[in-house]
Amino acid sequence: MAAPCPLPPPDPQFVLRGTQSPVHALHFCEGGQAQGHPLLFSGSQSGLVHIWSLQMRRALATLDGHGGQCVTWLQTLPQGHQLLSQGRDLKLCLWDLAEGRNTVMDTVRLESVGFCRSSILVRGQRWMLAVPGKGSDEVQILEMPSKTSVCTLKPEADAKLGMPMCLRLWQADCSPRPLLLAGYEDGSVTLWDVSEQKVRSRIACHAEPVMDLDFDSQKAKGISGSAGKALAVWSLSGQQALQVCGTHQLTNPGIAEVTIRPDRKILATAGWDHRIRVFHWRKMRPLAVLAFHSAAVQCVAFAADGLLAAGSKDQRISLWSLYARA
């Protein structure tokens, strides 16, 4: 008896149109709207940030703070009424969104025009911000909202890592020390101890630049994607040593973003080949290849309830409900 054919990949639950520009950044904000529906923020190549109602499936507001330059990163602060947006105009804007306001409260001038997205670590009323630094291989750490410089993380002179391409600030539950995972142009991933400004561990993961990474602090395991054809899975020991666990070969090169779902069961990648790929996180088993977009997928984001959003160069944002119990 023939084995049953696998089910075809689903269609998107719905599609958001109206950015009129390629979509480069996505971020969900929980509790941003009544009736329990999250808000979705999107950043476009034209420099605009759109705030989407997923209930009404339309944009509620448009923020214009980057002078027509591409928006590369979006992040809300925990209270939900403040948004950070990073643009290729060398500015990071802090927006006040409370009570219907859409105003820039403050800006941070960036020193690097590269593609590296920033990262934050919230610590009570204050928060730490990691941004690409003035030197091509540097990362600057700021204390916010005061914008006080904490330190500059600069690799040793002979390391030749190239530019930082992606950053992830985090903190272990058992320690107050902030740590930074950084993916570099040479294909390596480095763990920095921010307090001591020291490299704790470094591994060579990819032959091409690391485009993005995500880290599961509960499993002490991370994943990175590159301009090449492989996803790399790596672990962090109790002694803060990084180790490559394995790689997953892809059909086509180029991962723009990789993100692990909040429940840590599945992950999604944004592919230059127009595809969204979904994997079982613990086993790295391929679950689906979603072929909806007609141009490169440049960002993916999960909501707390598992809803997946993907933004593409084709100016569309697709939303997917997948694997509730993967």
The confidence score (pLDDT) of residue 114 equals: 77
Q: Report whether 162 contacts 186 (CB < 8 A).
A: yes
How many other C-beta atoms can be found within 10 angstroms of the C-beta atom of residue 68? 13
The confidence score (pLDDT) of residue 80 equals: 67
Q: Report whether 202 contacts 191 (CB < 8 A).
A: yes
Q: Report whether 192 contacts 179 (CB < 8 A).
A: yes
Cα distances from 50 to residues 57, 104, 204, 325, 326, in angstroms, run 12, 15, 37, 31, 31
Extract the tokens encoding 147. 């914008």
22-36 per-position pLDDT tens digit: 999 999 998 655 456
Give CA–CA dist 103/271, Å, rounded. Answer: 33
**pLDDT of residue 277 exceeding 90:** yes
Extract the tokens encoding 295. 């141009």
Query: Per-residue DSSP letters for 167-194?
Result: EEEEE-TT---EEEEEEETTSEEEEEET
Task: Please give the distance of CA 173 from its chain centroid, rounded to a whole number.
Answer: 21
145-200 per-position pLDDT tens digit: 999 999 999 999 888 999 999 999 999 877 788 999 999 999 999 999 999 999 99
220-239 per-position pLDDT tens digit: 999 999 999 999 999 998 88
121-148 per-position pLDDT tens digit: 998 778 999 999 998 899 999 999 999 9
Residues whose CB is less than 8 angstroms from the CB of residue 116 and which lie 6 or more positions away in sequence, other chains included: 132, 163, 164, 165, 166, 167
Range of lowest pLDDT (24-38, 68-82, 111-125, 249-263): 24-38
The confidence score (pLDDT) of residue 2 equals: 52
3-state DSSP percent of the chain in helix, strand and coil, to 5: 0, 55, 45
Q: Report whether 321 contacts 13 (CB < 8 A).
A: yes
How large is the average pLDDT for residues 77-102? 91
The confidence score (pLDDT) of residue 159 equals: 86
278-321 per-position pLDDT tens digit: 999 999 999 999 999 999 999 999 999 999 999 999 999 999 99
How many other C-beta atoms can be found within 10 angstroms of the C-beta atom of residue 112? 18
- State the burial class of residue 228 (Cβ atoms within 10 Å of its Cβ: 0-12, 13-18, 19+): buried
Q: Report whether 154 contacts 137 (CB < 8 A).
A: yes
Q: Using a pLDDT cut of 90, give the percent of the chain over it.
A: 81
- State the burial class of residue 98 (Cβ atoms within 10 Å of its Cβ: 0-12, 13-18, 19+): exposed
Class of domain 21-109: mainly beta
The confidence score (pLDDT) of residue 158 equals: 85
Cα distances from 34 to residues 53, 54, 148, in angstroms, run 10, 11, 36
The confidence score (pLDDT) of residue 32 equals: 57
Compute the mean pLDDT over every residue in the chain, rounded to the nearest whole number. Answer: 92
The confidence score (pLDDT) of residue 210 equals: 97
Give the containing element (helix H, strand E) for 73: strand 71-76
Q: Which residues pair with 221 in a beta bridge?
A: 216, 235
16-65 per-position pLDDT tens digit: 999 999 999 999 998 655 456 789 999 999 999 999 999 999 999 999 99
The confidence score (pLDDT) of residue 123 equals: 81
pTM of the model: 0.93
Give CA–CA dist 194/199, Å, rounded. Answer: 9
Give CA–CA dist 251/253, Å, rounded. Answer: 7
Residue 239, helix vs strand vs coil = coil
